[in-house]
C-alpha cells in the first residue's frame, strides 16, 4: 500500500470495528491515507498499526461521534495531517430490539449515534469540502428501507438515507458526492451474544436471503471503495444495498404466494 498520501486522506468513523476496519483496509489499498477514528482508542490504534505494517499511511484518532466538541477536534487533527478527500460515517449501533420496553433515553441513544453523529461529522468537514470537493459515504442499513427489528435504529437509518439524498442535491454544485451503503446481515462481533444463545442463528437468517449467505465486512468495504473511487464520479444521492437480495424479496414468501416450492 505504498503512496498512501497520493489520493489524500480518508476519515473513517468506527474504524476500529469489523466493518469500519475492513473499510479502512480497502481505502488504504486504493491509495488513501487513513484517519481511523473510534471511541475505542485501542481498537483505532490496532487498525492504524495494521495499515502501517502493510505499507500504508494511517493515524488513530479517539473520539465519541455523539460529542460535537470531540468530533470537531478530531476533524481539525485530521486536516492537520493532510487533505481529507473522503469521509465515511461508519460508527453506529442498535440499542433496543423492539418498541416494547423502549424508553425515551434509549430512543435518543439510537438517534444520536446513528443519525446525529453523521451530521456532526459532516458539519465538521463542511467548510473544507465546500472549498475543495470530496466524497461522503454514510453507512446506513436495510433497516432504513424495511422492518427488520430495532425500530429506533431503523428510524435513524431511514433518516440517514434521506439526509444523504438532501446533501447530494445541496453539495453537488461544490463537487461533493454523497452516497449511502445499506448492508443487510453482516458477520461481525455484534452477533456474538446471539450466536452464544443460538449457534444456528446465521443458518436461520440465511434462509431469508436470495443468495442464501451472510455478508462479510469486506463486502461492505468493497462498495465503499467503489463509491470513493473515480469510477463512481457520476454517482451521488444513491443508496447501494449490500444485502444478498433481501430488500428485493424474500424467497420463502415468494414460494408461499406462488406455491412454487423449488
C-alpha distances out from residue 29 to 7, 115, 201, 231, 235, Å: 11, 28, 33, 16, 21
Q: What is the pLDDT along the chain (262 residues), one digit of tens a residue?
A: 333 456 899 999 999 999 999 999 999 999 999 999 999 999 999 999 999 999 999 999 999 999 999 999 999 999 999 999 999 999 999 999 999 989 999 999 999 999 999 999 999 999 999 999 999 999 999 999 999 999 999 999 999 999 999 999 999 999 999 999 999 999 888 878 888 888 888 889 998 999 999 999 999 999 999 999 999 999 999 999 999 999 999 888 888 888 877 6
Q: Which residues are catalytic?
A: 153, 157
> In terms of CATH architecture, what is 9-258?
3-Layer(aba) Sandwich (3.40)
pLDDT value of residue 4: 42
Distance CA 252, CA 96 (A): 27
**Residue 213 is inside which H or E element, if any?**
none
Q: 182: phi > 0 → left, psi -120 to 50 → alpha, else beta; which?
A: beta
Sheet strand arrangement including 84-89: 58-62, 33-38, 9-13, 84-89, 134-139, 176-183, 239-242
Q: How much is the pLDDT for 5?
A: 53
Spatial separation of the C-alpha atoms in residues 192 and 26, rounded to whole Å: 24
What are the extents of the domains in the chain?
9-258
- Residue 192: the pLDDT is 80
Distance CA 33, CA 209 (A): 35
pTM of the model: 0.93
Amino acid at each position: 500500500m505504498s503512496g498512501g498520501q497520493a489520493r489524500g486522506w480518508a476519515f473513517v468513523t468506527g474504524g476500529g470495528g469489523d466493518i469500519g476496519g475492513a473499510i479502512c483496509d480497502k481505502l488504504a489499498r486504493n491509495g488513501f491515507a487513513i484517519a481511523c477514528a473510534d471511541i475505542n482508542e485501542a481498537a483505532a490504534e490496532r487498525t492504524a498499526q495494521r495499515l502501517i505494517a502493510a505499507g500504508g499511511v494511517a493515524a488513530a484518532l479517539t473520539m465519541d461521534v455523539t460529542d460535537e466538541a470531540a468530533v470537531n477536534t478530531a476533524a481539525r487533527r485530521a486536516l492537520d495531517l493532510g487533505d481529507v478527500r473522503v469521509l465515511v460515517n461508519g460508527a453506529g449501533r442498535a440499542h433496543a430490539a423492539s418498541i416494547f420496553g423502549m424508553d425515551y433515553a434509549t430512543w435518543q441513544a439510537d438517534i444520536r449515534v446513528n443519525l446525529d453523529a453523521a451530521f456532526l461529522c459532516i458539519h465538521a468537514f463542511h467548510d473544507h469540502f465546500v472549498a475543495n470537493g470530496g466524497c461522503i459515504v454514510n453507512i446506513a442499513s436495510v433497516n432504513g428501507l424495511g422492518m427488520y427489528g430495532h425500530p429506533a435504529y431503523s428510524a435513524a437509518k431511514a433518516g440517514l438515507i434521506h439526509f444523504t439524498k438532501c446533501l447530494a442535491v445541496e453539495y453537488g454544485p461544490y463537487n461533493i458526492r454523497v452516497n449511502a451503503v445499506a448492508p443487510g446481515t453482516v458477520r461481525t462481533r455484534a452477533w456474538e451474544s446471539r450466536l452464544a444463545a443460538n449457534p444456528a442463528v446465521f443458518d436461520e437468517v440465511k434462509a431469508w436471503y436470495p443468495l442464501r449467505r451472510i455478508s462479510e465486512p469486506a463486502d461492505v468495504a468493497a462498495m465503499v471503495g467503489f463509491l470513493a473511487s473515480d469510477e463512481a464520479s457520476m454517482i451521488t444521492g444513491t443508496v447501494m444495498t449490500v444485502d444478498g437480495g433481501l430488500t428485493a424479496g424474500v424467497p420463502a414468501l415468494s414460494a408461499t404466494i406462488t406455491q412454487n416450492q423449488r
